Amino acid sequence: MGPRPPSRPSPLRLRPRLTFRPNSFTPEESPMTLRIGISARLLHDPPPGLGLPQKRLQFLESSMAHWVMAHRAIALMVPFVDEESAALVDPAPMADMVDLLDGLVLQGGVDVCPETYGATPIQHEWRGDPIRDRYELALLRGFIEAGKPVLGVCRGAQLMNVYFGGTLVQDIPTLWPGAHSHQHPTHYDRLMHAVEFAPGSRLAGLYPSATRHTVTSIHHQCVDRLGNGLVVEARSPEDGIIEAIRHEGPGFVMGVQWHPEFHLTPGETQKHLLDSGPMMQSFLDAARARADRHRARHATGSAHG
C-alpha cells in the first residue's frame, strides 16, 4: 500500500447560537425588529501592533452590543463622520442615522472634555476628547428632537448632563472629600458598590423588590451641577454621588453611571449585581412605542392622501 494521503482538516463546526423560530404572527401583526444605534468609541492614535498607523479607529465594546442583542433588537454602531482634519460632523448622514434608528445608546469611555461644559482641565490627563463630545452631542440632540429614546452609560450619562447644561466633577478622589472608591486601576469591572434608587423614580418602578442594589463602578468623574430638566434617579448611599439621572420631559432619556452591560457576564459575582434586563427592556419598550406611533401617523396620512 502506498502512503496514505494527508488528512484534510475537518470543516469548522460552529455551534449555532441564533435559530430561526417561525412565529404565529400574521404579517400585519408581526412586531418590527428594533434597530438600536450605539455611539462609537474613538481611538485617534492606534498602537503600532494594529497595523493602522495614523488612522482613527471607531469601535464598540462587545458587551454593549450583546446587551442590546440579548433582547432581540439589532445593535448598530453609528459611525463618526468628519471632514478631513476639521473633525466636523456632517449633518446629512447624521440626520439619516436618526431617521433610520429607533433609539440610541451612548457608550462609556474617555472623559468628557471640561471645555465642553465651560471649565478648564485641572490636570492634563483629564482633558477628555472634544472630538467625540461634538459627535455624540450632535447624535444626542438629533434623537431627543426626534422624540426617540436615549440611554446613556457612564460617560454617556455624564454627557447627557452636560447636554442639558450641567457640569461634572473632574476627579472624585481629588474634589470629593470622603467619597468611597468609584474606580480601581486593576479591578476595572470587578469593583462594585451599592446604589439607592430615589422613591418614585423610574428605576424604583422597574425594580420594585428593593431600593438598594449592587452595581459595577468604573468612573472617576461624576455629575456636579445637575442639568436643566433632569432629576436624580439614584445615588451612592455612602457618599451621595449621583448614579443615575432622567429627563422629566416626554419620552425616555435616562443615564446611569454604572455599566449594566457588564452585568451580563456569567459568573458567581454577577449573581449579586443588579439585573440589567428590566432597564434595557424599558428602553426598548419606549423605542417600540415611539415607532408604533410614527407608523400609525404615517398610515393615517397615507389613507387620507
259 flagged as catalytic: yes
261 flagged as catalytic: yes
180 flagged as catalytic: no
Which among 103, 98, 101, 104 has a CA at the least distance from the CA of 40?
104
**Candidate list 136, 196, 233, 261, residue with the active-site label:** 261
Q: Are 179 and 258 in contact (CB under 8 A)?
A: no
**Candidate list 113, 154, 243, 263, residue with the active-site label:** 154
Distance CA 288, CA 32 (A): 8
Q: Are 150 and 250 in contact (CB under 8 A)?
A: no
Which among 246, 161, 147 has a CA at the least distance from the CA of 206?
246
CA atoms within 13 A on the CB side of 102: 22
Distance CA 166, CA 81 (A): 26
**Candidate list 182, 193, 219, 259, residue with the active-site label:** 259
Please state at what angle helix 130-145 crosses helix 91-100, rounded to 10 degrees: 50
Q: Are 91 and 139 in contact (CB under 8 A)?
A: no
Residue entry with cell 461634538: 134
Residue 99 CB contacts under 8 Å (≥ 6 apart), including other chains: 146
DSSP state of 301: H
Active-site residue list: 154, 259, 261
